[in-house]
Structure 1
């Protein structure tokens, strides 16, 4: 019985096969039937599932190709970000940003527009310079930034083929420190939201929608030198001097209390060598225009008492706009409202429905890999290039080998 990493979704595919090479993937696609890629299993729905074969791409050898002149690295799609990050840092290079979990694989994270945080940092998919995939014809195809289909395919949800490798932008390594601020009130946060989110290279707010304070503000500061000063106050809050984590689990969180360290040990919230997050959890997440942040957050606050019994944490983050057609940050600087829920499936489904109702006037776009209730009609309302992307996927995969019930339900593929 195969489940996602949190144990809260069970795959229904009759067969899971591990591929260790491009030739393995090509052989699978030379035979008839539907195929979907499976990575580190961080989706919370039937998005990766299939009535045919799931091909696990995490078994490829961890072989990387660094091009220092071009400032890129080429990696297998199934590699975890944390493994790549260690390798890069040893050679003096870095990724622009990372997600909160370094355990996620590069192919799955970029295909679903997963992200870290930071006003100037786009989703992880924006760092993709090129990628290679095996298509419905069982042949290998290369797509590069600037190609006609590139912006349609980067956040492609596995809807057109099996991605086997990606080329990512890199930059020289850098240092980061993490500080927690407490005591910031909702009045201050909503009145000066841009000041709050621009307080560091990456800023996250951990909240349970209680009054009067927002909760914890987790600020990651990019350093020129390890003794760069940081502010002791943020809005009407103060910097905590202890290493207390809002996530409450000291042995799996990256080091806090302002201790400088390399980027790959500070940008993620969680350590690669420990169990991430809480486990046995459900996640949902929405992107709204950053300009609408105060009104949007105020609307969700009104639901606080009703959703709190089922909520572990809400995390508020930001992302810069991009040009990727199915990115939730497409042409819109975003505030991201993430919910980590207890595994109370029915209650969470009801809470998600209430949240989506209050977010509807703000054109919220759900994270593709998290629990949501959107269908094709609702997706088309908030994703202006959905029909264009769907046309590209149908052209590349006319027989629907890479489609599934989820993709058809949300309008990424045509029904079959």
Structure 2
């Protein structure tokens, strides 16, 4: 059953592959509704349905053999509540577009991911990252959600009134409903400067992480030192000293992946600019890379950073040949049930691999084995091979989420094969 006028067949209307191209969606029908009522009818009449965001998941979390729907056709609303310092936005909007609007009104979000191209609802549903020792992932800024549940009802949940259940709903993996609107906390607009430093000694990593508002460290596992440190510091703070932590200053703009054009990246060299043009690594108007890649990401206790890096160094000879770049970050702890940062400050290891699953997967298995003593939690939307029993044990609220999933979606309307593997019925 299809909402009349909402079934689309043209491949130009709804993407048939994810952004990287490594997943071809198996959906039987694709939809682009233009009203919330049409979304409700579509969900109520579908036995299996999933929402498609901007396609930045690298696994089949968002895939289905039923209906696939993009909510990008809904009105692109952005409504600021100045009194409560919150903004309510259409879930399909990209963070970069929301950020520009907020900045024009004197507001900001406390954190952004490296890509401004990702959708708000999709990033929230997978606890997609930002970086900074005192900043949580993007889902921690969520104050309320509006979603269409499995029976087609439009439901509103709020952090202030729904308490613990709300903490289970926010990072919902798309399994609890189609999110139509998201309410986010705001802070006053601010400016940052971005400095890139070269050749950081590994033993200085922890100090580097605490040195600025947001810090990312890049390496290729080919040298003992860490290749680049991207420091995003408040504009009124002094620049790093010439010999800061034994590094040298980059004398020209850099791209994290060697050989890629630096013009795709946000301004560096200490030039001050608005928060939304410095926190991401990449400009909204540019494609950050070719898309010919796979990605994996693991969140570990921050206290285990040195030991985890030493463990990975033992297999650096396996990692380097299939790696484009590795990013190291920190994320603050939170209370969201399926957040990989649940109740622990995190050290994050992100791998951008070459686009060759046959070559990458054996190395990935070795990486997970080396990190296993530190109970790594993989990013839900990236490539991982973790055993379901082991993964469940790493989330104290895993059983609670499974129960919530059964209660809100008893017939499996929003389920996928990947969800069935990690949350079996």
Same structural fold, with TM-score higher than 0.5 when normalized by the shorter chain: yes
Find the aligned partners of 2:224 and 2:336 in 1 and give their Cα distance: 38
Q: Is the 8 A contact 1:184 1:234 kept in 2?
A: no
Displacement, 1:180? 0.8
Partner of 1:184: 200
Within a 5 Å distance, the mapping from 1:91-130 to structure 2 comes to: 91-130=105-144
- 2:53 paired with 1:43: no
Q: Is the 8 A contact 1:26 1:138 kept in 2?
A: yes
Q: What is the DSSP-based 3-state SS (H/G/I as helix, E as strand, rest coil) of the residue aligned with 2:384?
A: coil
Choose the corresponding residue for 2:326, options 305, 314, 318. 314
Find the aligned partners of 1:277 and 1:384 in 2 and give their Cα distance: 36
Partner of 1:163: 179
Displacement, 1:301? 1.3
Displacement, 1:210? 2.4
Choose the corresponding residue for 1:276, options 268, 278, 288. 288
Partner of 2:39: 25
Q: Could you list the per-position Cα deviations for residues 17-58 of structure 1 after superposition, in whole angstroms to 9, with x for gaps in the alignment?
A: 112221121010121411111100000011001121011112
Choose the corresponding residue for 1:332, options 316, 329, 344. 344
Q: Which runs of no fewer than 5 residues in structure 1 stay unpaired?
A: none
Q: What is the DSSP-based 3-state SS (H/G/I as helix, E as strand, rest coil) of the residue aligned with 2:89?
A: strand
Partner of 1:244: 254
Superposition TM-score, scaled by structure 2 size = 0.93
Partner of 2:4: none
Q: Is the 8 A contact 2:46 2:67 kept in 1?
A: no
Partner of 2:313: 301
- 2:76 paired with 1:66: no
Q: Is the 8 A contact 1:36 1:50 kept in 2?
A: yes
Q: Could you list the per-position Cα deviations for residues 290-337 of structure 1 after superposition, in whole angstroms to 9, with x for gaps in the alignment?
A: 000000011111111112111000000110000000000000000110
Find the aligned partners of 1:312 and 1:234 in 2 and give their Cα distance: 27
Q: What is the DSSP-based 3-state SS (H/G/I as helix, E as strand, rest coil) of the residue aligned with 1:150?
A: helix
Find the aligned partners of 2:200 and 2:150 in 1 and give their Cα distance: 52
Find the aligned partners of 1:61 and 1:251 in 2 and give their Cα distance: 32
RMSD: 1.3
Displacement, 1:197? 0.5
- 2:149 paired with 1:149: no
Choose the corresponding residue for 1:139, options 146, 150, 153. 153
Are residues 233 and 60 of structure 1, via their aligned partners in 2, closer, same or farther at CA, if it must alter by over 3 Å? farther
Within a 5 Å distance, the mapping from 1:202-213 to structure 2 comes to: 202-213=214-225
Partner of 2:30: 16
Choose the corresponding residue for 2:190, options 158, 165, 174. 174
Q: Is the 8 A contact 2:296 2:384 kept in 1?
A: yes
Superposition TM-score, scaled by structure 1 size = 0.95
Q: Which runs of no fewer than 5 residues in structure 2 stay unpaired?
A: 1-10
Find the aligned partners of 2:363 and 2:71 in 1 and give their Cα distance: 34
Q: What is the DSSP-based 3-state SS (H/G/I as helix, E as strand, rest coil) of the residue aligned with 1:235?
A: helix
Find the aligned partners of 2:46 and 2:246 in 1 and give their Cα distance: 62
Partner of 1:256: 268
Q: What is the DSSP-based 3-state SS (H/G/I as helix, E as strand, rest coil) of the residue aligned with 1:215?
A: strand
Find the aligned partners of 2:332 and 2:241 in 1 and give their Cα distance: 24
Displacement, 1:156? 0.4
Partner of 2:3: none
Find the aligned partners of 2:218 and 2:387 in 1 and give their Cα distance: 29
Partner of 1:83: 97
Displacement, 1:238? 2.2
Q: Could you list the per-position Cα deviations for residues 251-271 of structure 1 after superposition, in whole angstroms to 9, with x for gaps in the alignment?
A: 211111111110010000011
Q: Could you list the per-position Cα deviations for residues 337-381 of structure 1 after superposition, in whole angstroms to 9, with x for gaps in the alignment?
A: 000011011111111111000011100000000000124212112
Q: Is the 8 A contact 1:176 1:266 kept in 2?
A: yes
Q: Is the 8 A contact 1:374 1:410 kept in 2?
A: no
Q: Is the 8 A contact 2:221 2:319 kept in 1?
A: no
Find the aligned partners of 2:172 and 2:337 in 1 and give their Cα distance: 9
Q: What is the DSSP-based 3-state SS (H/G/I as helix, E as strand, rest coil) of the residue aligned with 1:16?
A: strand
Q: Is the 8 A contact 1:245 1:256 kept in 2?
A: no
Q: What is the DSSP-based 3-state SS (H/G/I as helix, E as strand, rest coil) of the residue aligned with 2:226?
A: coil
